[in-house]
Structure 1
Amino acid sequence: MESATTSAALGVIAGAAPTTASASLASLWDRVFGTQPDPDQWVVFATAAVALAVVVPYRPWRLARNAITIAHEGGHGLVALLTGRRLDGIRLHSDTSGLTVSRGRPTGLGMILTAAAGYTAPPLLGLGGAALLAADHITALLWLATGLLIAMLVMIRNAYGALTVIVTGGTFLLVSWLTGPQVQAAFAYVAVWFLLLGGVRPAFELQAKRRRGGAGDSDADQLSRLTSVPAGMWLFLFHAVSLCSLIGGGRWLLGV
């Protein structure tokens, strides 16, 4: 009788373990992919003001522009892989410049899309982030950003670049794991506003450099050589994508 009782007790414990694990997995799934409450409207406007205060003045922009460079080079790298090119590595530099090296045909659609992906990546990522926030998937946005940064880290080939991506990804991870809904919402809205607003400025900076005779090997100039379309037209495309993303994403964030 004692042996039967012990066996029954072990069966109950064994049966409880999968149930507990399943409950924990379901809880994690709901936490990441479930919806979170909308922040107050003043939070949306306040986070937009914070992002604007980072993007417009030179000194904070000089530091924060590293995040735009991550998105820019990440865009080159992702499209290179999607178009069948071999991605050799990504470098991020302390002057906020970057370099993505891929192998494949030096001409053709894959190379054109890869070259065009840099300046368009930050505003398009901001637009995608705005869509997630409008659907109340705040935590999912933070985890998706963390996943993309981890994937990008594998391809980083210099110490400064690795440090920048680790710090950025670690910040997203800590906020998503350790903070409550209101803090997560405020952080996510700042990040998306920053991508939307910060995605506009680089094209204007490139335009100013080209007007002064610099940036002769910019993405726009490379695209011009690849397609015989004037670099000014590619600049117009960069402006159009960033401004349209800002307008569309801003409307989603503001709920209008």
Structure 2
Amino acid sequence: MSFLNDVLSPVESLSSRDVTILVVGIVVVLSLPGVWRTLRHVVTIVHEGGHAFIALAAGRQLSGIRLHSDTSGLTVSRGRPRGFGMIMTAAAGYTAPALVGLLGAWLVSLGYTLAWVWGFVAVLVVMLMKIRNWFGAWVLLATGGIIGVIMWFGPTTIHVWAGTALAILLLVGSMRAVVELGRSRSRGARTTDADMLARITVLPAVVWVAGFFLVTGACTAGGVWLLLG
């Protein structure tokens, strides 16, 4: 009960100056290829989690989730190959990290940083039950373990910095992932979520890529605005 009270108790958020430093720092860090390749796994986790959540919400049967060492992923669900449910499921991947990041930024801005981060860890535990490859399980365990250790043993100040950084990582990372989507399509890739959406709707893939960028950009701007207070 004491743990639950601590999680649900509001804490002081970072100052606007500290948030600005964190945003700039994360943008710079994510511009480094090696660091981005590692941290992109966190974005991929939420990407595939978005596919899975919407698939279940749309009444589809979730078969499993895979996370790969090249930072790609695959979520398989069964149901109608077309229709609104399938469209929402396919569109959920690239928008999920930005929307979750926006939710995190909102909770952090209200002081509920611990609830945000421990809730994120809880989702990783739920996803673990649907993972269908060893690397995916390892990524979830490593991510949840690192975050859990920081939150369990770290002081409140570290909790606030970590929770804010997680939200910003998802926001900024979601935009970079969409940029990479556009680049991969320009190099000839035609098996992306945008191409799947183009096959089951009247809109071409480039319109879906643009839509993803608009959503992630809007969420990022909104999330940073919330964090700046």
> TM-score, structure 1 length as denominator?
0.86
Checking the alignment, whether the CA contact within 8 Å between 2:16 and 2:227 is kept in structure 1 is no
Q: Residue 53 of structure 1: CA displacement?
A: 2.4
> Which residue of structure 2 lines up, in the alignment, with residue 110 of structure 1?
85
Of the three residues 208, 213, 220, the one matched with 2:194 is 220
Check the 8 A contact 1:145/1:172 in 2, yes or no.
no
Counterpart CA distance in 2 for 1:38 and 1:220 is 37
Contact 2:15–2:228 (Cα < 8 Å) also in 1: no
Aligned counterparts of 2:202 and 2:58: Cα–Cα separation in 1 = 21
Aligned to 1:56: 31
Taking the TM superposition and a 5 Å limit, the aligned residue runs for 1:69-218 are 69-214=44-189, 216-218=190-192
- In structure 2, C-alpha distance between the alignment counterparts of 1:148 and 1:110, rounded to whole Å: 22
Give the Cα–Cα distance (whole angstroms) in 1 for the partners of residues 198 and 15 of structure 2. Answer: 46
Other structure's SS at 1:90 match: strand
Which residue does the alignment assign to 2:41? 66
Q: CA deviation at 1:55?
A: 1.5
Q: 1:106-153, CA deviations, whole angstroms, 9 ceiling, x for partnerless residues?
A: 111111100000000111111000000010001101110011100111
Structure 1 unmatched ranges of 5 or more: 1-24
Picking from 205, 219, 225, the partner of 1:245 is: 219
Report the residue type matching 2:53 in the other structure: L
User: Structure 1 residue 172: deviation in Å?
Assistant: 2.1
Q: What is the alpha-carbon distance in structure 2 between the residues aligned to residue 131 and residue 231 of structure 1?
A: 31
Alpha-carbon distance between aligned partners in 1 of 2:38 and 2:48, rounded to the nearest angstrom: 17
TM-score, normalized by length of structure 2?
Answer: 0.96
- The two structures, once aligned, show a CA RMSD in angstroms of 1.1
Tell me, yes or no, if the aligned pair for 1:50 and 1:190 is still in contact at 8 Å: no
1:30-60: CA deviation from partner (whole Å, max 9, x where unpaired): 2011101123444322322332122212121
Q: Matched residue pairs, number?
A: 229
- Kindly, what percent of the aligned residue pairs are identical? 41
Contact 2:66-2:132 within 8 A present in 1 as well:
yes
Counterpart Cα distance in 2 of 1:100 and 1:70:
11
Find the residue that maps to 2:122 and give its secondary structure: helix
Shift of 1:218: 0.6
Q: Name 1:231's counterpart in structure 2.
A: 205
Separation in structure 1 between the aligned mates of residue 28 and residue 140 of structure 2, nearest angstrom? 23
Report deviation, 1:211. 1.5
